[in-house]
A and B are shown apart, each in its own frame.
Chain A
Amino acid sequence: MDSESQTQSPLSAASPGNRSGRGQLWWKGLVSLWLCYHFAGLIISPASIPPSSDLVRSSWRFFGPYLQLLYMNQGHHFFAPDPGASTLVRYTVELPGGNTVEGRLPNREISPRLLYHRHFMLTESIATFEDDERIHPLLVRALARELCREHGGTAISLSRITHLLPSQEWIRAGERIDDPTLYEEQPLGRFEWSDFSGR
């Protein structure tokens, strides 16, 4: 064999690893360990959303606090499992003079669009926590208080509206996506401003 062909490749001889000092090796080693932990956590986070195995759910204990700290405890379930119906809130505020103000949240008048989405996420959370007996009442109460404060009302009534999605056949039959039959209304309660006294 030609002796030249056995010569160490100049490129491999000059690889960064060979140039690294001991400190750099330690630094890279520690960062590498962190990378493994970090990405394991990023994978566990969406994987732990039900349905998930006991193994994945139990491993959340090791990653949850870290991911919550970094605000990286995300599910990445965009429009999944299925795009669903929208949840809105209809409100009627009773003003001191006896008049009333009616409105809906979110409404198309809210601008810019990002602010509209913020309101939309709020009302969507009512559907998300509808079965949670601790969170749901607090959520509705906070919503009522803020809307009542915004309008300077003495009392407010809230109801949840679910806007069902139309099928393609429905549209082809000549109906509209905002047809009244697609809306389902469910009362959330009536609140007096005095209920929020002291706040």
Chain B
Amino acid sequence: MVGLLGTLRRNVASYLAGLVRQWDEFWFQPEDPLALGFLRILTGAMLIYTHLVWGIKLEAFLGPNGFQDPLLVKVLEPDSTAWTLWWLVPDAYMGAAHWSCIVVLVLYTLGLWTTVTKWAAPLITISYANRAPNANFGLDQINAMLAIYLALGPCGARLSLDRVWRVYRHGVRSLQEQQCWSILPILPSSSARLVTRLIQVHMCVVYFFAGVSKLKGDAWWNGEAIWMALSNAEYQTTDMTWLAWYPWVSDVATHSTTLWEMTFWVLVWRPTWRPIVLFVGASMHVGIGVCLGMWTFGLVMIFTYVTYIPPETLRRVGHWLAGALSVAAPVSLTIPQGSGWRLRWVAWRKATDLRNRIELVASEPLLNASDRKTLLVVPAPLSFITSAEWWAAHKHSITSWPFADCDRMDIRRPRIIIVHAVLDTLTTLQNYFLSKGFDCRAVSSLSATCAALFDRPTDALLLMSQSSLEVDEILLFRNILSQASAHAPVSVTVLPKFLHDHRCESSTEHLIVVGSATLRELRTELTRALLERTCTEEEAMALAGTLGSRSPSSASNSLGPAPSIQGSLRLFKGGYPTAGSVGESFIPSPNDRLRQ
């Protein structure tokens, strides 16, 4: 009985710990703030437009003798905590206050002084909305929601003038001190994740209640609702009366709208369904814009979908936009000595170089001849490789990576590099792989990985990631490896399950493991990738002998005898082996391979 209670307690504790971990990952897993940058620009542009339109009839809508005088507003919302800054503005200064707000919103959109303007934007938005409550609709609600949530996160960390300024200042320092350009890394942020999730979940609430509230009416059941909305002459911008002869169109659209709104909050979290759900939603909002003239509302709803787009896709969009905006031809600039205005000018040009078209050349050689040869193929000093942009910018040079010329694998003792950000885990991993016969190096960043790759030939990499930004960089790195050369190191990349969205396909030499994995599973995957590279029987047997002999206690789970290895090699070429065809758990079945 006591044992049963103990087991029950352990299970409950384990379950609760799992819940806490999932909650933590969902809301606080550090994330690239790129989506917030995009959203700040889109929201800011909408806020500027919305407030410019208020300004056309400012006195009529916000004035003391307008459509909604102060008495009416106070009677409308008695004992309310709704507030507006307009009560503080004297009538004579309404115009000045309005244009000041527009200026602040422009700065917000451009991303200048965002630590201040990101708080000013929701203050302005709510002030206008609460001053004219009878002239509001869904647009104002979503505007305010986005402005408030964006203020809680680092919305100016990317795609902003603030970012350009920070890069410039960092660049000036690095040029002065080290005569080379250093990319200022963008750190993943828990608050960026929090804001992204707030918007996502808020939109789920919006759509769910939009759908549920429709069930109160008859028209959403009998299929006439869409007809009724589209035949409203005051909303209509396109003649849709032809629908009267095709009532089934209205029926389908009515039921689809309700069904979509009520299931959005479930389906949008499914990677398979998400593109479909968002496409249907965007189509619906565009339809509202075309048929009912509510373009602003439709667009601002679509803007919120940015938070559902994977960071990698957003990054590609960013690079594409940068290419579209930058027409400058590649240019080489010499880094001036000292700290004068010429150096600052060079730093400014490099900071605003969206496409990385500007190459900076040191005025004096920093390295000896052999090092310069290396730098010819890798144009930036390795110690400054910190961001995904660098990897993306230099993908074209992958065919001439230094490790493309490395020797064949040292079959006696495979050289591996383990990459993990957490020192304790890194030490555990290194000790384990050393004990299993690997010549193992442990590093905690991609820049250190590069340095280690240059240092000596390497057979395999074990890349482990935790955060979303790290995932993007590691996946880029892995992709470059997989395309680099037949002699590049093989790799095993471990991704957290919640961040894996099938952006990368696992290959036989560059495996991807999703979710949790034991040390033995990691070793199995790594050895499997290494075996794929060893083409001759002698190499395979030597590898088996080396690694197997270091682990006598688990020999049956290790590489096994040579015939099995030959069998596994043969089967690897043609796909996964079936259970029992090769040595036991060395090559697990596909179901066992990844612990989802």
Contacts and interface: CB of A to CB of B under 8 A. Distances in A.
Interface of A: 2-5, 7-17, 19, 28, 31-32, 35, 39, 42-43, 46-47, 49, 51, 65-66, 68-72, 74-84, 86, 88, 106, 112-122, 125, 134-135, 138-139, 142-143, 145-146, 149-150, 163, 165-166, 168-172, 177-178, 196, 199
B335 to A, nearest CB: 38
B233 A178 contact: yes
B77 A15 contact: no
Contact of A168 (B21, B209, B244): B244
B95 interface: no
Question: Size band of the B side of the interface?
Answer: 35 or more
B213 A83 contact: no
B61 A76 contact: no
| Main SS class of interface, A | helix
Nearest to A7: B519
Interface stretch (B289-297, B360-368, B446-454): B289-297
A5 B83 CA distance: 60
B119 interface: no
A82 B232 contact: no
A178 B233 CA distance: 7
Contact of A15 (B21, B129, B519, B554): B21
B519 A11 contact: no
A126 to B, nearest CB: 9
Nearest to A196: B65
B53 A80 contact: no
A10 B144 contact: no
Given A16-B30, A80-B216, A118 B205 contact: no
B228 interface: yes
Which of A43, A70, A78, A134 has the most chain B CB atoms inside 10 A of its CB?
A: A78
Given A76-B206, A83-B229, A115-B57, A146 B66 contact: yes
Nearest to B132: A118
A8 B432 CA distance: 12
B214 A71 contact: no
Contacts of B522: 10
B464 A199 contact: no
Interface string B122-160: 000110011010111111110011001000000000000
A82 B217 contact: yes
Nearest to B142: A74
A114 B213 contact: no
Nearest to A51: B216
B557 interface: yes
B94 interface: no
A65 B83 CA distance: 11
